[in-house]
Amino acid sequence: MQKDQTSNAPGSNHIQPFTPRINCICCIGAGYVGGPTCAVIALKCPEIQVLIVDKNQDRINAWNGETLPIYEPGLDEIVKHCRGRNLFFSTDIDAGIRDAQLIFISVNTPTKTYGIGKGRATDLQFVEAAARHIGQIATGKKIIVEKSTVPVKAAESIAKILYSNIDDNVSFEVLSNPEFLAEGTAINDLLQPDRVLIGGSQTDPGIEAINQLAWVYEHWVPPSKVLRTNVWSSELSKLASNAFLAQKVSSINAVSAICEATGADISDVAHSIGLDKRIGSKYLQASIGFGGSCFQKDVLSLTYICEALNLTEVADYWHQVVVMNNYQKKRFARKIIQCLFHTVSNKRIAIFGFTFKKDTADTRESSSIYVGKYLMDEEARLVVYDPKADKGQIISDLREVSSQDPQRVDRLVSVINDPYDAAKDAHAIVICTEWDEFKALDYEKIYNSMYKPAYIFDGRIILDHAALLRIGFHVEVVGKVMKKPVNDLTPF
Ligand SMILES: NC(=O)c1ccc[n+]([C@@H]2O[C@H](COP(=O)([O-])OP(=O)(O)OC[C@H]3O[C@@H](n4cnc5c(N)ncnc54)[C@H](O)[C@@H]3O)[C@@H](O)[C@H]2O)c1
Ligand SMILES: O=c1ccn([C@@H]2O[C@H](COP(=O)(O)OP(=O)(O)O[C@H]3O[C@H](CO)[C@@H](O)[C@H](O)[C@H]3O)[C@@H](O)[C@H]2O)c(=O)[nH]1
């Protein structure tokens, strides 16, 4: 059997078990994961002090202020309940490292944008910086928990970095504890996880560290749901889970293209497929393609790992998930252009929804950005409405994909905070995010304010299409071939 590298290098056999119980936890990285995860720990473990630290002063100020830096249903209440009692946000990273017995590393691990592996490999510079910081400051025994999503064997590198510069009074145990929360449902996912995964070295101190972290979760998670594995299995399980989920979305989106070409209906097909218990009904919602900061990044990371391991066919298999996703975004934009008589130049198009999914303000890798880009490439005038996304963020996301001509965004894009205003004088409405409020709008009123023929492109399959057809809209839906609107006598 291969030696378990995370059994923590020099002297690990001499480390005494981590007793007494943990009473102070630090989390490095106050982002979408660090914030909600540690707020829930603080809520459920009132006897534990939870210190969330970050190098970004603005973010910490926001966590300490009235408007939290991230929007997540249920999060406000928890933070306001625990903040100042056993939950603290600070930029004093040294103090956090010094005081805590257990330290989560929950920093960002984006796709590399430079050098070897550019566009695919995971950029581990923030993880390394956090590990070096811990190595410099820590004294005594510390459990270091890799919460960030990382390539397999990253924990081994973290252990080496930690041990590169320490004296005899310090010892570390590195665990992998990937996070499975989804944005928009993070609090519920954290309160009622399908499982909590803890990977650690199979040595006495490693098992003791696993037990300590398990003890924290077992304040509210049934022990049967707390899985213990070795570190590598834990790291790989995270990437593989996201790859499976993303693959499911790409599969249904591939089927949606077949539906549009044949007249089959994606809702019927997905329903029927999903009733098979072996497949399951979740992640079968055809869309304009998956977005978010995780799916693409993690599938690309997995493909890069496979390539590095000379598993070319395996890499190609997973890479196709991303290829299909890019195809879906482009296919949707092309459909819009084609339906609007092959030109959208100077036409006003209302984009409803810019976040990558509902119930979040996060726009990272949102498919709306790419649909917007393709329409801007054809000189469409975009009027964006989103209930939560920040206006400046929308503009900067669109500028980033228009890097050849950033002025184009100033010329073509406006962001409006009322959907009726956005649709006024528009040739088309494009539903990019499945916000519930879009279902409840007065589409008769919207129709009357639009250019005719008035088009709606439902990229999320959320609207009442029969009602829209009765009003007079031309309706186009992912994965469906729609009838002509009532009263429309023109041949298609
Ligand atoms: N967003 C999600 O829904 C989600 C879910 C599961 C797992 N993950 C994974 O969790 C990790 C964090 O994701 P996120 O969305 O919370 O990222 P994020 O960008 O929202 O937050 C990361 C934070 O880490 C801080 N940071 C970076 N380096 C630091 C350092 N050396 N010292 C102090 N602070 C530092 C940044 O300032 C930032 O505020 C990633 O690996 C991601 O893949 C994310
Ligand atoms: O049937 C579906 C399900 C999802 N999506 C899209 O897929 C993307 C991702 O959605 P979701 O998985 O709900 O959100 P994330 O917050 O990205 O969460 C994923 O990524 C996280 C980061 O790793 C993991 O922790 C979660 O388990 C995993 O679900 C979004 O654009 C969704 O609109 C679809 O198009 N159809």
What ipTM score was computed for the predicted complex, to two decimals?
Answer: 0.99
pLDDT of residue 254: 98
- Give me the architecture of the 232-492 domain, per CATH: 3-Layer(aba) Sandwich (3.40)
User: Is 291 close to ligand 2, i.e. is its CB under 6 Å away?
Assistant: yes
Using the mean position of ligand 2's atoms as its centre, give its distance from the Cα of residue 279 in Å: 17
Kindly give the distance from the C-alpha atom of residue 213 to the centroid of ligand 1, in angstroms, as a whole number: 20
Q: Is 335 exposed, middle or buried (0-12, 13-18, 19+ CB in 10 A)?
A: middle
Q: CA nearest 153: which of 256, 251, 6? A: 6
Per-residue pLDDT at 286? 98
The confidence score (pLDDT) of residue 405 equals 84
pLDDT in the model for residue 283: 98
CATH architecture of 3-229: 3-Layer(aba) Sandwich (3.40)
- Evaluate whether 171 touches 12 at the Cβ level (below 8 Å): yes
pTM exceeds 0.90 for this model: yes
Query: How far apart are alpha carbons 258 and 154 in whole angstroms?
Result: 40
Check whether 45 is labelled as a binding-site residue: no
Within 223-317, strands assigned E span 226-229
Give the whole-angstrom CA distance, residue 489 versus residue 492. 9
How close is the Cα of 190 to the center of ligand 1, in Å? 16
Q: Where in the chain is the domain with CATH 3.40.50.720?
A: 3-229, 232-492
Q: Residue 324 CA: which ligand is closest?
A: 2
Consecutive sets of 10 residues in the chain, 492 residues long: mean pLDDT of each?
A: 40 46 96 98 98 98 97 98 98 97 98 96 97 94 97 93 80 97 98 98 95 97 97 97 98 98 98 98 98 98 97 98 98 98 98 98 98 97 98 97 87 97 98 98 98 98 97 98 77 52
Q: Output b/e per residue, 269-304; b: 16+ Cβ within 10 A.
A: bbeeebeeeeeeeebbbbbbbbbbbbbbbbbbbbbb
* Whole-number pLDDT of residue 17: 46
User: Cα(480)–Cα(446) distance, rounded to whole angstroms?
Assistant: 23
Say whether 294 sits in a helix, a strand or coil.
coil
Q: Is 299 in the pocket of ligand 1 (CB under 6 A)?
A: no
* Residues forming the active site: 294
